[in-house]
Amino acid sequence: MQRLWQVDASRGLALTFMLVSNFVTDLQYFKGYSSFGNLWFAFAQLTAFMFIFIVGFSLVLSYNWAVKENKATLGKYLKRGLWIFGLGLLITFISYWFIGADYIRWGVLSLIGSSIILAYPFLKAKPVWSAVMGLLFVIAGWIAWHVTLTTNLLLPVGFTTASFSSVDYFPLLPWFGVALLGIFFAKTYYSKISNLQSSKPKFKPLCWLGRHSLVIYLIHQPIFLALLLFF
């Protein structure tokens, strides 16, 4: 599949923002940093929106390539989704061992893995379905934010208890909706996007980050924690 440097660079920028946001979270959790709390929260939400929107966007590009190669099967997306979801579970177990009660529950990799699987019907459908369902998921996520339950059984969906706490939490409501909006945007403007393939690559450092985003995400926290312990 021919990559679009614009998408790689955008993912690299979102990843850079995520690294900054996660380092600040580490400072808050381990070092008691508390300045500009609302600003950093808004920054984290914007960063997450960018990153997950690009996930949906990229799914359309990979799907269109897979169609041309006769490889656009459910099994392909099921395998990829389960692989990333499994990495998310691994991070959950490691975080539970390392930080205890506030461990990562349904973090960003769990969301991305499940979104890859759930998005498959929308990749085959008309763009309007991605737009409608994406908006509904976002609205439902806002409602879920204001509802508390007495059980965590619906935690992956977006409903939590009053005492719930996690350093990383990305439920399907609203975040799968953001991925669907990325799918809608890519499907709507795919013909124009395809014309970008011939343009000369720019922002090569960001492109490199974007192409290796999963590996960087997996190793960045051990590096951050080592730096905090060292200094």
Domain range summary for the chain, segments of one domain joined by +: 5-230
Provide the 10 A C-beta neighbour count for residue 27: 16
Structure token digits, residue 229: 């312990």
| Run of H or E residues at 228 | helix 213-230
Structure token digits, residue 71: 């490889």
- pLDDT value of residue 1: 58
CB 60 within 8 A of CB 96: no
Would the CA dihedral through 167, 168, 169, 174 be positive or negative?
positive
The C-alpha atoms of residue 27 and residue 74 are separated, in whole angstroms, by 41
CB 59 within 8 A of CB 119: yes
Structure token digits, residue 182: 């990325």
Which residues does 1 contact at the CB level (< 8 Å), separation at least 6? 61, 62, 65
- Cα–Cα nearest to 130, from 81, 48, 186: 186
Task: Report the SS3 class of residue 91.
Answer: helix
Rg (CA), the chain: 18
- Written as tens digits, the pLDDT of the chain (231 aa) is 567 888 999 999 999 999 999 999 999 988 889 899 899 999 999 999 999 999 999 999 999 889 888 888 999 999 999 999 999 999 999 999 888 888 999 999 999 999 999 999 999 999 999 999 999 999 999 999 999 999 999 999 999 999 999 989 999 999 999 999 999 999 998 767 666 665 677 899 999 999 999 999 999 999 998 998 887
Beta strands in the chain, from DSSP E residues, in sequence order: 148-149, 160-161
- Cα–Cα nearest to 116, from 184, 46, 58: 58
- pLDDT value of residue 133: 98
The C-alpha atoms of residue 1 and residue 194 are separated, in whole angstroms, by 12
Residue 170 CA to its chain's centroid (Å): 8
pTM value is: 0.93
For 7, 8, 51, 211, 212, the CA distances from 205, given in Å and listed in that order, are 13, 10, 17, 10, 11
